[in-house]
Each structure stands twice: as structure tokens, then as C-alpha cells.
Amino acid sequence: MEKRVYWLKSSVVRSDELLEGIIESATDAIIAIDEEHKIILFNPAAEKIFGYQVEEALGKDLSILLPEKVASKHFSFIKEFLKTGDSPVIGKVLEGVARRKNGEDFPIEISRSATKIDDHWIFTAIVRDVTQEKEMERRLLESEKLAAVGIAASRIVHDIKNPLIAIGGFVFSLLKKESSEEKRQKLELILREIKCLEKLLSDISEFAKPLKLEIKEADLTTVCQEAIEIYRPRLEEEGIEIELIAPEKPVKVFLDEARLKEVLFNMFQNALEAMSATGNGKLTVEIVPREQTVQIIIRDTGPGIPEHVLKQLFTPFFTTKKKGTGLGLSISHKIIEAHGGKIKARNYEHGAEFTIELPYRPG
């Protein structure tokens, strides 16, 4: 094949210097491997993205940069290419997953090429870390989804509310006139069920409304302490102990106190429901100030959260409970995000752990 030249030969640049400059300064990772799947080129951007120093990466099998499943498939693509001279992954921009030195898997965009030099094939990949783009996409989708649910929910609330109020009114007037004890009990039961439905409707419209926060400076320890004292009797009734671990100095944070308490109540209620089956649980609320954030870590000693539940925890109306609405955590999520914070869940060795992170400046 005739060699084409891509730079002006009369200019002062030397081709190897030019190439090195490009590889050195590229913001995308450029990685080349030989026919044995060994890394033979690893540029500074690759060091930054993958966390390996070039000395560590060179000569190693490419599988150090890939999750196990992808690594074996990748090697078979190479072998196939060496046999047939063709591969479906060469010359295209594809999406994939790669692995950093710290074990974290992350989304990438990758384009691969194959070049023959002195009878040997060299495979080069240009890899872009698209973690941030994916995260933005996910957030956008999430907020679109929430907005759509919000609109649907407010329509439903609107259509159910008036008939429900009318039914409640009729039942109430029947109850006032009724003298038979048996019938009165039934009417009271209907009224109680109506109250539950009204509560559900108000939860839904609360969730559908845009949040308006009343932000004031407050001591986070006091806010948590007050929320705990309100919930303590309910917890103690189920034999559950609750403890606050907080720094000695006040932790001054700008927040909507009532809303934050609402979040804590949701967490306490969930923990209570998770632990009441076994009884004798322990709930710990820990306040941990950091450089730019303060964390409130809430740990229970319940059964923990199953993997499939963990994925949908903050999805509106997702519940595993017979009498749950599935709005507690999604409302909490919305409140914390409105504060510019984050809320995360995971399991620790004795149960479920929720971490609320709020913006904070130590001072």
C-alpha cells in the first residue's frame, strides 16, 4: 500500500516529534497493544483516567484495564482479527466499560484501529471517560421521570379528592344519626379508611408540588436531637434504642429545619419498620463534619436492603410494604437535593445505612 503523508514536509516539524506531541498532550487516553494483548503504549491521559503509572502499565496484559467479562471477549476479538483480518469493533466509536486501578468500573467511549508495522499488528484505542456525561444523562432522565410522575399524580389527586370529601361528609352525617352500635362501628371503619386515603392524597400532592425551602442557619446537632426526641417514644415502644453521635462544637448549617426533620422522620420510620420484625434494634445517628460537607449517617440493625430494592429505593411509589406508599424516600431525596445535598444508601455489616450529605463550611 502506498504511504500517504499527512503533514507538510517542508515545515520544520519532524514526524516522530509531532506524533509524540499529539500522544503526550491528548486529553483522551491513547493505548496500544500488540498481538499478544500486551500494552505497548500508554499516554499521560491514560495514566490520569485509569490510575496506573505508565511504568506499571507497559508490558502488562490489557485485561488490567477491563472488567473480567469484557477482557476475555476482547482477547478473542483480537485473535479473530489476526485470523480473518477483520473485526466488527475496529474503526467504530463504541460505548463500553473499563476498570480503573482502584477497581472501579466506569463507562467509556472507545474507537479502535489496527495498523500493521513490520509484519506485526498493533491495535490502538482512543478512550474517553464518559462518567460525567452518563451521570448528567441519568439525572436528566430521573428529573424528567419525576416531573412526569408529578403531573400524573396531581391529576389523580385532583380527580379523587372531591368525591372522597363528599363520601366522607355523607358517612359522617350518617354516623351522627345512626343509633345501632354495629352499624356505627362499620361507619367508623369507613371513616378511618377515608382518612388513610386523604393522607395518601396529601402525600402525593406534597410530592408533586415544587419544593419551597425556608432556609435559616441552624445547629445540625440540635435539629437532629429534637427529631430524635420526637421519635424516641415510638422507637422505645418497639424496644429500639436510638443514639446520637455528634461533635462537641455546634455544626452550623443553612437549612430548612422542618424539611430536614421530615427527612429524618422518614428514615426513622423506615428503620422502625425494618427492625420491628426482629425487635431490640439499635438506631444510630452520627453527624460527621467534613471539609465542604457535613454528613448525617443513619444506621439501623435491621435486615438491610436487598440488592434489587437498593436500585429502586428513591423511585416514587416503589415499596415492598403492604401498607407503604413508596414516597418516603423519594420525598426525602427531593428535599435533600433542594438543599444542594445528596442522599445515599448502602448496607453495612449490621443493617442498612443512609448517608445524607449537606453543603457545609466549617468555621
Ligand X SMILES: Nc1ncnc2c1ncn2[C@@H]1O[C@H](COP(=O)(O)OP(=O)(O)OP(=O)(O)O)[C@@H](O)[C@H]1O
Residues that bind Mg ion (CB under 5 A): 270, 328
Q: What's the CA gap between 266 and 344, in Å, rounded?
A: 14
Q: What's the CA gap between 18 and 26, in Å, rounded?
A: 12
Question: Under the criterion CB under 6 A, does residue 44 sit at the interface with ligand X?
Answer: no
Q: Degrees (nearest 5) of the Cα angle 271, 277, 279?
A: 80
Question: Under the criterion CB under 6 A, does residue 352 sit at the interface with ligand X?
Answer: yes
Question: Under the criterion CB under 6 A, does residue 327 sit at the interface with ligand X?
Answer: yes
Question: Under the criterion CB under 6 A, does residue 33 sit at the interface with ligand X?
Answer: no
Of positions 63, 124, 205, 319, contacts ligand X by CB under 6 A: 319
Of positions 78, 89, 251, 329, contacts ligand X by CB under 6 A: 329
Question: Under the criterion CB under 6 A, does residue 197 sit at the interface with ligand X?
Answer: no
Q: What's the CA gap between 300 and 240, in Å, rounded?
A: 10
Q: Which stretch binds ligand X (CB under 6 A): 129-137, 222-230, 235-243, 327-335?
A: 327-335
- Whether the Cβ atoms of residue 50 and residue 97 lie closer than 8 Å to each other: no
Q: Which is nearer to Mg ion, 266 or 284 (CB)?
A: 266
- The 10 Å CB-count burial string (b at 16+, else e) for 189-216 is ebeeebeeeeeebebbbebbeeeeeeee
Q: Which residue is nearest to ligand X (CB)?
A: 328
x/- letters, 259..288, toward ligand X (CB under 6 A): -------x---xx--x--------------
C-alpha cell, 101: 486501578
Of positions 253, 305, 343, 358, contacts ligand X by CB under 6 A: 305
Q: Which residue is nearest to Mg ion (CB)?
A: 328
Q: What's the CA gap between 150 and 228, in Å, rounded?
A: 31
| Shortest Cβ 30–ligand X spacing (Å) | 44
| Shortest Cβ 27–ligand X spacing (Å) | 41
Q: Which is nearer to ligand X, 270 or 284 (CB)?
A: 270
Distances (CA, A) of 108 to 134, 155, 280: 9, 41, 47
Of positions 32, 39, 125, 313, contacts ligand X by CB under 6 A: 313
92 binds, among ligand X, Mg ion, none (CB under 5 to 8 A by kind): none
Q: Which is nearer to ligand X, 246 or 272 (CB)?
A: 272
DSSP labels for 103-148? Answer: S-EEEEEEEEEEEEETTEEEEEEEEEE-HHHHHHHHHHHHHHHHHH
- Whether the Cβ atoms of residue 194 and residue 171 lie closer than 8 Å to each other: yes
The contact set with ligand X (CB under 6 A) reads: 266, 270-271, 274, 300, 302, 305, 309, 313, 318-321, 324-330, 352
